[in-house]
Structure 1
Amino acid sequence: MARRPKAKRRFPRFLLLFALLGLAVAAVVTAYLDLTVRERFEGKRFALPARVYARALELYPGLRLSRAEMVDELALLGYREASQPSDPGTFRWRGESLELVTRPFAFGDGRQPSQALQVEFWGSQVGGVFPRGENRSLDLVRLDPPLIGGIYPGENEDRLLVKLDEVPRHVIDALIAVEDRRFYSHLGIDPRGIARALVTTVSGGGVQGGSTLTQQLVKNFYLSAERTLRRKLTEMVMAVLLEVHYSKQEILETYLNEVYLGQDGNRAIHGFGLASSYYFDKPLERIGVAEAALLVGMLKGPSQYSPRAQPKRALERRNLVLAQMAETGALSEAQLRKAQAAPLGVVSRPPRGTSPYPAFLQLVHRQLRRDYRDEDLRSEGLQIFTSLDPQVQRAAEGALSRRLARLEKGRNIKSGLLQGAVLVSSTQNGELQAVVGGRDPRYEGFNRALDALRPIGSLVKPVVYLTALQQPGRYTLASPLDDGPLLLRQAGTSDWEPKNYDKQFHGRVPLRSALVNSYNVSTARLGLELGIPRVMENLRRLGVDRDLPGYASSLLGANALSPLEVTQVYQTLASGGFRTPLSAIREVLTAEGETLQRYPLEVEQESEAAPVYLLTAALQDVVREGTARGLAEYLSPELQVAGKTGTTDDYRDSWFAGFTGDRLAVVWVGRDDNEPTGLSGASGAMGVWGEMMAGLGPEPLLPPEPENIERVYIDAVSGLRSESGCRNAVELPFIAGSAPSEFAPCDPESMGRSIENWFERIFR
């Protein structure tokens, strides 16, 4: 009986110890939550994606640009047609005259203000660019560059950060009226709101939230969306801690930049700054009361109240927000009626976020990774300015898709089986202007332009012939080659017996003719005579960085390269033997607009100019009279295009590489399953190339002639020297001193021979 009181005395002590332990645990948890709150809030709060831009269109008198091309450019930029253009990004057409107001933009060389312009079009070129209302013509005006994509954080979140002083008052009024009317008076949690929500829920009025703006920010910023009592208690503690450490202004600014407001494909729209651009094509500081109410109304459910997918529901929700603003005194009765009568004002076509050019963007991303960490590309808000030319890209995409469809129809190939890739670069600086990774240019998967490794066939032949022409004491364009049967026996491998495309042998042929007609046998003999290692080394010097096996079949293109690698090789040829690394990036700016890195032109001479000049002359003859003569269907011979067809065994791969005075392009056509297509280089890829270039208005190819070049007439059959009037005479370039000295007999019926006989009769 005496022990029972002792037990009762120990029980309160146990409760006290338990309470103290609970307080200690709560203190530790609170300290941890406090550290979590401060670390995230005081550090880099948001991961900002890199933004990737195409080239900025420069308008000047004489620019080759049609009205249709300008229409496409304005559509890509997201400019809006208006009856009276006054806002940045608006325009109207008046006959062949374009009135537009450009957007301001911060370039690497300084900020460019908005300008009201009038652009006159004369046929397919710009006649003049004038400040609106003035007669003086401007020398050059640069439009803002088209945004073509981004490199997003892991969750594909995209946002445009805004500062609180940039946010219109009616945006904040709408937010406070709907989401948290006691925001400026509570300390993170609102007991009245919680009680009101509880009563409404218990009384059957539906589930109502009692969270403050601070709690919503904590949930979005720090916690998951799970609905548990533990998460709710954690949210409330962290909300109080956030209010203790930071001002209402800091919390509100972070909230405005954090909230989720919609989805653009796989890109998540976060923050009022980006939402204003995405829905209204306006900066946040320029939206009106009705537009602000729509954005605030969408917070309850961006998909449920999407103004594009659910316009009626979105309108009702917006008007409810406006009514609540009137309740708080933020709007007068007249302002309420005017705002509720306004249309939604959402642009039908949102500014681009997901890239319309995924193949080009993949290349940009890969090149950036050489200089930047991937996490920085996805979080530092870098601005990437590229060399993509949307006009060239459209021409390449259209030519590939149209041509493949016609080839399938004309040859009874199952629709969709043919695939292709196109790359276009500037011959002047190696900047890539277009990259097409397949017949569906919007597909973000396998990029054939960068990653399809296919045998290149006859595209390797110019490398063989350049290797020979680099030895002017041994080879010239007139050197005779043997195109007779060849059987190569090597220990440990099968016999190799190359055949010509036409299944015939042609005996002794001049080197130029062997290339022009793409003879396999004479090319193989020449390569074996030169030495396979020497040819492969030349291929590497011209632009192939990978190690390539040197087999006899490599001389006829058995090695597999990507279209990008082929483009690099031909870029060096088109540049006169100077290797310029292909580049898709011009410069990189920080999020604040400061220049971080420029990508200057890098040039390294890989061949003397004279041999490349001779090779280019032969490649022009390929188009003029050889395997690519069909290009005359698309382009005038006066352009003097240089090019080479390529076909692999069993017609599995169709290639064409060619260049004009301003552009180089490489096209591949084939099947992903590597089955035969029945297409040669001329019947497949060359048509894509020709159709594309015809739409771009290329410049003639007039390569500068090196000082040590002389021109001599040669007999096209024998390769010996000839008189200009002889029947088979052709004028060819030679490195000085290398032309043949022996003359071929002149045909008696040729004009030159007739004149010579006339003089002989007179002076006999």
Structure 2
Amino acid sequence: MAKSARSRKRSSRKPARTAAQRRHSGRPRRRLWWALAVLAVMAAGVGGYVAYLNHLITSQFEAKRYALPARVYAAPLELYAGARLDAAAVGRALRLLKFERTGKGAAQPGTYAVQGDGYLIHTRGFTSPDGNEPSRTLAVRFAQGRVASVSTVSGRTVALARLSPLLIAKIYPLSHEDRILVRLDALPPLLPKALVAVEDRRFYLHHGVDPVAIGRALVVDLRARRFVQGGSTLTQQLVKNFYLSNRRSLWRKFNEAIMAVLLELHYDKRTILETYLNEVYLGQDGQRAIHGVGLASEFYFGKPVQQLDTAQIALLVALVRGPTYYDPRRHPARALARRNRVLRELHAAGELDAASLRRAQAAPLGVIAKPPSSVTPFPDFLDLVRRQLGRDYRAQDLRTQGLVIYTTLRPLVQVAAQRAVDQGLRRLEARRDIKRDTLEAAAVVTSVENGEVYAVVGGRRANFDGYNRALDARRSIGSLFKAATYLTALEQPQRYTLATLLDDSPLHVRTGQGQQVWSPLNYDRRNHGKVPLMDALVHSYNVSSARLGLDLGLPAVIRTAHALGIKQPIAEYPAILLGAVPVPPLEVAQMYQTLAAGGYRAPLRAIQTVVDPRGNSLQRYPLKIERAAPESAVYLLDAALHDVTRRGTARSLKTLLPAGLEVAGKTGTTNDLRDSWFAGFGGNAVAVVWVGRDDNRPAGLTGATGALPIWAAIMRGINAQSLHITQPADVTWTTIDPQTGLRTQDYCPGAQWMAFIKGSEPSGTSSCQVSATRRALEWFKGLLK
């Protein structure tokens, strides 16, 4: 019995497991741990990837949301009583600014009407660093080529009014995307409502991804057996536009969904909707991509988005579905059908009543025939702006930061200069039997006082963005350089005055270590003996000018040229005294601006201010004035340059300019008549013109026959003011006998009035032979005084 019990006890024990059995029994547990580990790694990977996408959203959304091109504006046109503007000039300005002429009144901003001898103008309000200009209706009257009065419609006098500055260019991102940033609060309320009603009805209910829309799209796709509907929310579309490609794939849709949810975690619905309205692609203009409803409104309707009516709002929303397919200019029938469908959906959503629906559906598309050009009409001036901006800003900042750049450009001056160059060259070629389109030209117009550049013309093709001769053409300037020589002399009144007699006899100078002989000749191939310094300049005698420069010393003359504004290096050889100095027109303009401003050099500038998109000033380009030459010596030189236009090489200006318009200037002609120059100034503007050929072959034109007529046309076209030079206290005038350089009576034949720095007047006098009757008459005049 006991044995039996022990036997049963032993038989009840589990048999011992083999090693194989033990290994087999541990596998499920290890597999579980492996599965858990893999899941953990996958979870970490997915979590890490989501974290990466979250970082992408938070770090780039703000920057991408405001990646805007820089906008470049001209100076606003100022209207005030006494301004030198006639009705035709203001009319041209209004057309440049795209003001619409109306038959009666001017009810809307951006419209005007002709009223008697003037205009009724409803201005556009604008903000600038110089102050805010309100939108208002102004009555502007004209008389005798000037603004006679500016007043409100109620009759209140307005001291100063400004028209909104002309947008002259945009500096685009590398993607060539363009947009006008608009705030949600500034949009017509119907526009965002229409977008939501048509593109994402559940926008305010979902959190970035809409399962209902996805399910509905899936059913439609299955029935059609092809991809018909996507089910993407506005948030998903925004994510795709900002971060992802347009390639259709499950991976892209996966990323799009995750990023849409993340975006809605960080930003509210208003921010997302506003960003979408500024980002959405709505058309193409050549290389420029039209993004956002703000720019699309200007592109399709020619007016700000705030002024759109119901039908136009519906068309913009219609274009979201496919701006190429529904392009209203190329496919108006498609666009009309799609627009009307949007209107019906607005009605179904309760955003439009039946009467409004019928009116909007009956309205035409209302699209302007020609969109505003994205190409700057003034590429030569913009070239100068870019170069000056390049000193202070990176190209990337200019392309993406939405900077607003206010320039010194005067559109009316620019247009007048371009017209003068184009017409002047065609006239020269026709009259002188020169092959058509072989002459070229450049022109620069600046302010006298502050160095602001008003206009830049780089060639006869005004809209050609290419070789800019005004900035880059380095051509010998001929006798324009003589101003530096004569100023150097007049700065030494103890040695030289306007009456000092110079030697104009033949000159031979050995150069190149005595191996060569330089023998300058006068243009008329004659020598004139002893001539007053003033006459040598007025008639542009080469030989006496060269002798003067050699007596002064080349280093001294070169220092003066650099002080006046020439930046190019100048070699020390005698031929520079006659202008063998290659200088671009812009630097010549700087040189003569300094002379026009009485010896004060104001570095030429094309930019006034740069501000950020919020209106905060980033950088101002203030007026910087430096004394470059003694005021009294410059006054004497300017007096001689004035005489150049009355009796010297530029005397033909008397018949080319309006009566009473006094100017000063200098002609310039180079060897073999290759380059024709004229540089001069009136009371408010300096202008420089070059005419020649790009291949450097002779043009057959002197400064007086080539550049001067174009210069005169520019000054006529800009209503230039007459020359006014303030006489320094230490300058006096006296009558000089040009034959002897001595004082004489003003009634003596050939006597000339000349200016002198006090104490430098000739001490001797020269008598003249006149009749007894003439002497008695002069004695009687003296008694009357």
Normalised-by-shorter TM-score class? over 0.9
Are the equivalent residues in 2 in contact too, given 1:66–1:124 (CA < 8 A)? Answer: yes
**Cα distance in 2 for residues equivalent to 1:122 and 1:710:** 38
- Matched letter for residue 287 of structure 1: L
Match of 1:129 in 2: 150
Secondary structure of 1:684's match? helix
- Matched letter for residue 113 of structure 2: R
Deviations 1:472-528 (A, max 9, x none): 111111212122222221235643222221222222222111111111111111111
What displacement does 1:284 show?
A: 3.0
Deviations 1:538-583 (A, max 9, x none): 0111112343222211111111111111111101100111111112
Deviations 1:578-635 (A, max 9, x none): 1111122233333222344443322221211111111111111111111111112211
Does residue 182 (structure 1) correspond to residue 220 (structure 2)? The answer is no
Bigger drift between 119-128 and 139-148 goes to 119-128
Change (3 A) 1:200 1:445: farther
**Cα distance in 2 for residues equivalent to 1:752 and 1:5:** 143
What displacement does 1:398 show?
A: 0.5
Bigger drift between 191-200 and 214-223 goes to 191-200
For normalisation by structure 2, the TM-score amounts to 0.90
Match of 1:564 in 2: 586
Does residue 274 (structure 1) correspond to residue 292 (structure 2)? The answer is no
Runs of 4+ aligned structure 1 residues displaced above 6 Å come to: 1-17, 753-758
What displacement does 1:281 show?
A: 4.2
Match of 1:662 in 2: 684
Change (3 A) 1:113 1:743: closer
Match of 2:448 in 1: 427
1:598-677 matches, cutoff 5 A: 598-636=620-658, 638-677=660-699
Are the equivalent residues in 1 in contact too, given 2:405–2:611 (CA < 8 A)? Answer: yes
**Cα distance in 1 for residues equivalent to 2:106 and 2:226:** 49
- Matched letter for residue 652 of structure 2: G
- Matched letter for residue 678 of structure 1: G
Change (3 A) 1:633 1:199: farther
**Cα distance in 2 for residues equivalent to 1:278 and 1:222:** 26
Deviations 1:649-680 (A, max 9, x none): 22221111011111110111122222221111
Match of 1:147 in 2: 167
What displacement does 1:316 show?
A: 2.7
**Cα distance in 2 for residues equivalent to 1:393 and 1:750:** 58
**Cα distance in 2 for residues equivalent to 1:261 and 1:113:** 31
**Cα distance in 1 for residues equivalent to 2:378 and 2:528:** 47
Aligned with 1:28 (options 35, 40, 48) = 48
Are the equivalent residues in 2 in contact too, given 1:747–1:753 (CA < 8 A)? Answer: no
Aligned with 1:578 (options 594, 600, 623) = 600
Change (3 A) 1:290 1:642: same
What displacement does 1:46 show?
A: 1.4
Secondary structure of 2:511's match? coil
**Cα distance in 2 for residues equivalent to 1:332 and 1:198:** 33
Secondary structure of 2:634's match? helix
**Cα distance in 1 for residues equivalent to 2:408 and 2:461:** 21
Match of 1:50 in 2: 70
**Cα distance in 1 for residues equivalent to 2:630 and 2:644:** 22
What displacement does 1:694 show?
A: 1.6
Are the equivalent residues in 2 in contact too, given 1:91–1:100 (CA < 8 A)? Answer: yes
**Cα distance in 2 for residues equivalent to 1:81 and 1:756:** 63
Bigger drift between 598-607 and 367-376 goes to 367-376
Deviations 1:151-204 (A, max 9, x none): 333333332322333333321222123322232233323344445445545526
Does residue 526 (structure 1) correspond to residue 538 (structure 2)? The answer is no
Change (3 A) 1:61 1:42: closer
- Matched letter for residue 142 of structure 1: R
Aligned with 2:733 (options 696, 711, 732) = 711
- Matched letter for residue 46 of structure 1: Y
**Cα distance in 2 for residues equivalent to 1:463 and 1:147:** 39
- Matched letter for residue 344 of structure 1: L
Are the equivalent residues in 1 in contact too, given 2:417–2:717 (CA < 8 A)? Answer: no
Does residue 162 (structure 1) correspond to residue 182 (structure 2)? The answer is yes
What displacement does 1:3 show?
A: 11
- Matched letter for residue 89 of structure 2: E
Deviations 1:281-313 (A, max 9, x none): 444344222111111112233344333454444
**Cα distance in 2 for residues equivalent to 1:97 and 1:223:** 56
- Matched letter for residue 429 of structure 1: N
What displacement does 1:91 show?
A: 1.7
Match of 1:746 in 2: 768
**Cα distance in 1 for residues equivalent to 2:359 and 2:663:** 64
Match of 2:158 in 1: 138
Aligned with 1:461 (options 468, 479, 482) = 482
Does residue 486 (structure 1) correspond to residue 486 (structure 2)? The answer is no
Match of 2:525 in 1: 503
- Matched letter for residue 417 of structure 2: A
Aligned with 1:323 (options 344, 362, 367) = 344
**Cα distance in 1 for residues equivalent to 2:546 and 2:334:** 72
Change (3 A) 1:550 1:147: same
C-alpha RMSD of matched pairs (Å): 2.9
What displacement does 1:23 show?
A: 4.0
Match of 1:761 in 2: none
Match of 2:724 in 1: 702
Are the equivalent residues in 2 in contact too, given 1:97–1:120 (CA < 8 A)? Answer: yes
Match of 1:439 in 2: 460
Match of 2:14 in 1: none
Are the equivalent residues in 2 in contact too, given 1:510–1:716 (CA < 8 A)? Answer: yes
Change (3 A) 1:2 1:460: same
What displacement does 1:455 show?
A: 1.3
Change (3 A) 1:422 1:757: closer
Change (3 A) 1:229 1:679: farther
**Cα distance in 2 for residues equivalent to 1:509 and 1:435:** 38
1:467-482 matches, cutoff 5 A: 467-482=488-503
What displacement does 1:11 show?
A: 8.4
**Cα distance in 2 for residues equivalent to 1:123 and 1:575:** 28
Does residue 381 (structure 1) correspond to residue 410 (structure 2)? The answer is no
Are the equivalent residues in 1 in contact too, given 2:745–2:767 (CA < 8 A)? Answer: no
**Cα distance in 2 for residues equivalent to 1:483 and 1:187:** 91
Q: Which 5+ residue runs of structure 2 have no aligned equivalent?
A: 1-20, 781-785
What displacement does 1:21 show?
A: 4.6
1:232-381 matches, cutoff 5 A: 232-348=253-369, 350=371, 353-381=374-402
**Cα distance in 1 for residues equivalent to 2:738 and 2:330:** 70
**Cα distance in 1 for residues equivalent to 2:518 and 2:228:** 81
Deviations 1:326-378 (A, max 9, x none): 33333233222111112223345655654221222222232233344443333
Bigger drift between 407-416 and 645-654 goes to 407-416
Aligned with 2:563 (options 541, 554, 563) = 541
- Matched letter for residue 104 of structure 1: G
**Cα distance in 1 for residues equivalent to 2:471 and 2:757:** 37
Percent identity between the aligned chains? 51
Q: Report which of the two structures shows the higher radius of gyration computed on alpha carbons.
A: 2
What displacement does 1:458 show?
A: 0.9
Are the equivalent residues in 2 in contact too, given 1:265–1:354 (CA < 8 A)? Answer: no
Q: How many residues align?
A: 757
**Cα distance in 1 for residues equivalent to 2:176 and 2:599:** 43
For normalisation by structure 1, the TM-score amounts to 0.92
- Matched letter for residue 127 of structure 1: A
Change (3 A) 1:541 1:204: same
Does residue 735 (structure 1) correspond to residue 757 (structure 2)? The answer is yes
Are the equivalent residues in 2 in contact too, given 1:726–1:751 (CA < 8 A)? Answer: no
Deviations 1:729-763 (A, max 9, x none): 111111222222334452456975797999xxxxx
Are the equivalent residues in 2 in contact too, given 1:264–1:354 (CA < 8 A)? Answer: no
Does residue 82 (structure 1) correspond to residue 97 (structure 2)? The answer is no
Change (3 A) 1:276 1:637: closer
